[in-house]
Structure 1
Amino acid sequence: MFMDYSLGDLGSIFVMQAFAGLILFSIFVLMALGLAIIFGQMGVINMAHGEFMILGAYMTYLTSNLFQTYLPSLYSIYFFVAMAVAFLASGALGLLVEWSMIRFLYKRPLDTLLATWGLSLILQQSYRSIFGAREVGVELPPWMMGSLPVTGTIEVQINGLFVMGLTVVITLSVYLLLYRSSWGKQVRAVMQNRVMAGAVGINTEKTDRYTFGLGCGIAGIAGSAFTMIGSTGPTAGQLYIVDTFLVVVFGGAQSLLGVIASAFTISQAQSTLEFFLSGSMAKVLTLLGVVVILMIRPQGLFTIKVRR
């Protein structure tokens, strides 16, 4: 596999694939953050999480078209507006779904899985009916196009750097919200002991609703970031949902550090293997590696100790 390349070529290949892996890592982290909040904090298996991501992507696409048509002079800043719109749209849909369906299915994981899987099919068909079956893309603003030379043979894409910077900002924001705010304490209290949290005056139903909405809103931001590196279609979310669940379970569903470490490991492994092997074979080998590690450590890479 490596014999056809010189050491210099291999070094350049590994650096380029490592950067590509960091872009994939950024999408994984944004997707997994929302899912970790919903699955890790609430115990809800949300099979429609990918469709919340695609809703964010479509909101970004619509915002891009609106700016191109009516505000072309401000197109360079459209993405920041689109990101806010994507967060609000996906978060609002998440609040509606929690109120109308999820709140009746707590402590029933199989029913929740089936219900959200059905919701994902409904959302896919809705996107297909509204936006069409073809994939759509957005035009990057001028400052986000092009690449920066690192060496004579290595260049990094500016849009990829932007996505990675966005991931850092969102991750820090989620950390501060969950671990340094009073609302985050309420979320973690409900997760650890719902009965006791309710007994001390925490509105557990409202906390659940806003937690689910936050997780879906972060998925919408992931959809906005996704438009920077790829096109959007009605079923694009299904391409990432399995990898996202894998990241969350492998890292530890209740650990923010575990999600980050898991996303980095899986994205780098897939990116490097895809260059030398086929994409499907890279996924198979990555999955096998994760399964072996989970057999040794079924609780994931990182776990939170909770007094029982």
Structure 2
Amino acid sequence: MSASDILNITLMQGFAGLSLFSVLLLMGLGLAVIFGQMGVINMAHGEFMTIGAYTIYMFSQLADNYWHGFAPVYFPLAICAAFALAFAAGWVAEWALIRHLYRRPLDTLLATWGLSLGMQQVFRSVFGPKEVSPTLPDWLMGSWSPKPGLDIPINGLFVMSLAVLMTGGVLLALYRSRWGLRVRATVANRQMANAAGIDTRKTDRLTFAIGCGMAGVAGAAFTAIGSTGPTSGSLYIVDSFLVVTFGGAASLLGTVASAFGIAQMQSISEFFMTGSSARVVTLLTIVIVLMLRPQGLFASKVRRA
């Protein structure tokens, strides 16, 4: 094997890590908003991701079976619908369940875990137990070859672009919008935010719903690189919490950095060892770093009341 072949394999392996990074980042952004900003341990976050994935599948079935002319353009519209449906489900979940459990993290963990099991059963009843895959539009198929021997999947490039767009949108909303101002004020000092006229209950509900909507977008992106089943989201929930805690619970910059580090470490390790061994190495590295720096890579200094 020549040096050029080794370089190409390394680059493609690194790009595979970037695809995983994109999904973890999209999941981590939603959790960073819900867990980092609100202190709610949402074990059902993966199921909101699954809502987004099944939304893409339903739009694909609509294009395949009933409206063939819709096939080339359905995917971007389905992503918007995935955000909207996951947002609506998150709004209902916050109103019906989460709002009664604020400042009780163990209770939120148990309640949302029960919610996740219930949602998984709903998915099984509606879509069946088997994994399904949407029919991707032609413009998402194939690969880009910047040089001979190096093929980069176009669907992976799309997922990366979506992750970059969502990250920029979240940062812009958090620091340049009235909603972001209210969220930051509530995180800094809830009592003072209430005294200043901010409806913190409404802010909490909107924040939780937006975080769930981001998980829906992550699920939509996931369908471009993998199949969807009732438990697909639960497979990513542990990694998503690792991304948030490793980067720093209230730091969006830390979420980006930790998602990139974890994904690349996992992908490169899998090139030299089995998948399970690579995962063990990744988890051990995270544990060691957290032992040395319990607050995460980028600790956010805020006052909490």
TM-score (norm 1): 0.96
* Cα offsets for 1:12-52 (capped at 9, x unmatched): 22111110000000000000000100000000000000000
Specify the alignment match of 1:95 in structure 2.
91
* Cα offsets for 1:187-217 (capped at 9, x unmatched): 1111111111001100011000000000000
* Cα offsets for 1:240-277 (capped at 9, x unmatched): 11100000000011111110000000000001111221
Specify the alignment match of 1:182 in structure 2.
178
Distance apart, 1:151 and its partner CA: 2.1
1:82-121 alignment runs, 5 A limit: 82-121=78-117
Specify the code of the residue in structure 2 equivalent to 1:200.
A
Q: Please give the alpha-carbon distance, in whole angstroms, between the structure 1 residues aligned to 2:245 and 2:130.
A: 32
Specify the alignment match of 1:77 in structure 2.
73
Q: Say yes or no: does 1:14 pair with 2:13.
A: no
* Cα offsets for 1:258-308 (capped at 9, x unmatched): 100000000000011112211111111000001101111111111222257
Structure 1 residue corresponding to 2:43, chosen from 32, 44, 47: 47
TM-score (norm 2): 0.97
Distance apart, 1:6 and its partner CA: 5.5
1:1-308 alignment runs, 5 A limit: 7-306=3-302
* Cα offsets for 1:94-127 (capped at 9, x unmatched): 0001000000001111111000001110011110
What CA RMSD, in Å, does the superposition of the two structures yield over aligned residues? 1.1
Q: Please give the alpha-carbon distance, in whole angstroms, between the structure 2 residues aligned to 1:199 and 1:281.
A: 52
Specify the code of the residue in structure 2 equivalent to 1:185.
L
3-state SS of 1:155 partner:
strand
Specify the code of the residue in structure 2 equivalent to 1:84.
C
Q: Please give the alpha-carbon distance, in whole angstroms, between the structure 2 residues aligned to 1:188 and 1:70.
A: 46
Specify the code of the residue in structure 2 equivalent to 1:202.
I
Distance apart, 1:7 and its partner CA: 4.0
Identity over aligned pairs, percent: 60
Q: Please give the alpha-carbon distance, in whole angstroms, between the structure 1 residues aligned to 2:37 and 2:102.
A: 12
3-state SS of 2:217 partner:
helix
Distance apart, 1:221 and its partner CA: 0.5
Count of equivalent residues: 304
Query: Would the aligned equivalents of 2:244 and 2:258 in 1 still touch at CA under 8 Å?
Result: yes
3-state SS of 1:66 partner:
helix
3-state SS of 1:76 partner:
coil
